[in-house]
Structure 1
Amino acid sequence: MKRFLFDCGTRDSLASSGLLVLRAAFGLMMLIGHGWPKLGKFEAMKDGWAVPAIWPLSTMSPPVSLVATLVAEIGCAALLVLGLATRPAAFILGFAMLVAAFQVHGGGPVFLPADGAKEPALLYLFPCLVLIISGAGRWSADGLIYKEKKRRFF
């Protein structure tokens, strides 16, 4: 279980530096640009928040759906910045971006500048996919927690 949650992937210094920049920039953009504004407007947004039309998510109420979105956009984004439980956090945030793109903005156009476009959610999905595949890298909390006994060559 420890390896599943905290395996940092590559320990190559150059690749780990690139992953650090990706995690920090992506996580902070999601946290500051999307999570905090929603948290500040929680009372105004809670009753009109979209509920996905896929089961079992369709059983949630709008406030619960908003809380789930905030957990992904604030909690998981903060975990990505720290590099802690990176793969599970990236999976949850990526799932939230899939729901945003294909459920919330499902009827909208793909590209900006149109309102309700899928493009921003899809652009946030790709760093999640990279982090799920690669892990957080050496310069992360995952790299400090999970020490490998055998050196890997990738």
Structure 2
Amino acid sequence: MKKLINVYQSANSIDVALLITRVGIAALMLVHGLPKLGMLLADAPVQFPAVLGLSANVSLALAVFAEVLCSLLILVGLGTRLAAIPLIITMLVAVFVVHGADPFAKQEIGLLYLMPYIVLLLTGSGRYSLDYLVLQKVLCARYERKLSIQ
């Protein structure tokens, strides 16, 4: 019972929570992005809203970039903070521009997607990610260089 009401979390539980958040939100967003990728690669005319003065093709390409490529980066935890930025922008545009005049029920999904991206922007990817492995390699290389200089 004490564990359930404890407000202090171990580093491992935070890393596991970040892993679950990353994999979960990336997988869910890929469900939205892959059909858009198919639409972008199809020969048919693009049926996508033109937003912020951009053409429908450019808007769709930017959405595919965020929802597919950035989601894949978040899934594996590579450049997570940077990859979260286009997804945050995409969700803000979806909520406030594309669905700005719609009832809250239409905006709610975009807002629900937005929240984990903000968390990932603020926290990073955690220990169970490629970001962590790359950082460890960089730190080891710096340490070895420093030892060889001395």
- TM tier, smaller: 0.7 to 0.9
Partner residue of 1:136 out of 114, 118, 125: 125
Specify the alignment match of 1:70 in structure 2.
64
Provide structure 1 residue ranges, at least 5 long, that are not aligned to the other structure: 1-10, 112-116, 150-154
Query: Which residue matches 2:37?
Result: 39
Map of 2:25 onto structure 1? 26
Aligned to 1:79: 73
Q: Aligned residue for 2:110?
A: 121
Count of residues paired in the alignment: 127
Residue type of the partner of 2:27? L
Output the aligned Cα RMSD.
Answer: 1.7
Aligned counterpart, 1:102:
96
Structure 2: gaps (5+ residues): 1-9, 141-150
- Cα 1:66/1:22, change in 2 over 3 Å: same
Match of 2:84 among 80, 87, 90: 90
- C-alpha separation between the residues in 2 aligned to 1:145 and 1:109? 44
Does structure 2 retain, via aligned residues, the 8 Å contact 1:12–1:138?
no
1:52 deviates by 2.0
Letter paired with 1:118: Q
Report what 2:146 is aligned to: none
Q: Greater RCO between the two (CA within 8 Å, min separation 6)?
A: 1
TM-score by length of 1: 0.77
The code of the aligned residue for 2:29 comes to M
Could you list the structure 1 runs, at least 4 aligned residues long, displaced by more than 6 angstroms after superposition: none
Code of the aligned partner of 1:51: A
Structure having the higher Rg: 2
Deviation at 1:91, TM superposition (A): 1.2
